[in-house]
Amino acid sequence: MNFLYNIFVHLLIFGMRVLSLFNDKTKKGVEGRRQSLEVVKKAFSKTDKILWMHAASLGEYEQGLPVLEKLKEEFPTHKILITFFSPSGYDNVVKKKHIADAICYLPFDRKSTVKEFASQFDCKLFFTVKYDYWYNLLAELKHKNVKAFVISALFYERQSFFTTYGKWFVKQLKQNITWFFHQTQHSYVLAKSIGLLNSSVTGDTRFDRVKQLRIRNNHVDFVEEFLRKEKVIVFGSSWQAEEKIAKIVSEKNERLKIIIAPHDLKRVENLKQIFPTAILYSELKNSPTLQRSNSQTLIIDSIGLLSKLYSYADVAVVGGGFHDAGLHNILEAATFGAPVIFGNHYRKNPEADQLVSANGGKSFENENSAVQFVLDLFKDEKKRLEMSEKAKQFVDKQPDSSELILQKILSL
């Protein structure tokens, strides 16, 4: 099976290189990996003690970061390495202020490649987030006596571990992972069923992160002037489906203010066509007249503002759930007490079911049903406020996962 896995890795590399000829995102990942070794050589000496976090993409980074921050407090002289698989994670983090001494793409999982990469520093602790496992890397870290952990682990029935050919993968995890910190009881039970006994339920570390959002300064310049004390619905990380909802809602309730932060800034031009009277956020900075205008819709054409914008929301609609792209972060809206509306495609997001059960959110099969619910919420103030309180309570009741994980790691 090890032989077949290595064949798979080589096929993956070949496939990504071919796809990079046609896809800019894949091209970034392929070209970025060519620089990874030089990044760590430049940042670290071979005797530097390193805390290493690997995240597939941005969502996993957000889950792992609270733990990494606590580990840095415990080991202030250790340096930090963060690796990504996806350009969407790497691009979003490398350009911002962060705690890492080096950020790069995770090299392709060839034995010789990961051995050379890991030999450039003295890794004292490694953790991956959720379910991004690379078996040659884990084996190399085990060979170097590095303790490896999985933060916010999430097992589900369709994974390869639960297939007839999955025994090899399970064996590798048994050998190479020191401890699994599970998001859910269901994940914990599934892992136990295949013999992964070194594990505990610690919850989702993203709750720790979003709780911290409340205590920072969430002011966004010019937004209060645009809202003019009217009710507002924030469409976060929107795709076409959520934009359709925004359009119908704007036509049915003209008093509502609408803020749209698309998942991709390439959507801005399309949004201007859908909402011809909308204002771009970039335009507000230089135009007091626009700030005082009666325009109903504000389009956010810059990144990094969404989590703060949720603090203004009376209702939030979060994108990605009406198709297989994957539901975006609903917790950033829930922490501010916004009732959260989203599509029902979220198999890998257990927090969505939990928020719905807590009556702090609602999922829908199609856009039309969501539209009617949103309109009814703004007609029924009591119901909207009840959902708002339930959303906030849902976040408040979650355990301090990062502290639980830290204490267990220190004990090991």
Residue 287: which pLDDT band, with cuts at 50, 70 and 90?
confident
Residue 5, pLDDT > 70, answer yes
Check residue 74 and give its pLDDT.
96
pLDDT at 182: 97
Pick 345 or 76 by higher pLDDT: 76
Q: Mean pLDDT across the chain, nearest whole number?
A: 93
The pLDDT value given to residue 290: 63
User: Averaging pLDDT over each range in 90-104, 142-156, 287-301, which range is the top one?
Assistant: 142-156
Task: Assess whether pLDDT exceeds 80 at residue 305.
Answer: yes
Residue 400, exposed/middle/buried by CB under 10 A (0-12, 13-18, 19+)?
A: middle
Q: Which helix (H) or strand (E) holds 120?
A: none
Q: Give the span between the Cα atoms of 261 and 328, in whole angstroms.
A: 12
Cβ-based neighbours of 133, under 8 Å, separated by 6 or more: 169, 172, 173
Whether the per-residue pLDDT at 61 is higher than 80: the answer is yes
Query: Is residue 59 predicted with pLDDT exceeding 90?
Result: no
Cite the DSSP H helix spans in 75-133.
87-94, 111-118
Kind of pairing between the strands at 279-280 and 49-55: unpaired
Does the pLDDT value for residue 271 go beyond 90? yes
Residue 289: pLDDT band by 50, 70, 90 thresholds? low
Percent of the chain residues past pLDDT 90, beyond the cut: 82
- Sign of the dihedral through C-alpha 81, 86, 91, 96: negative
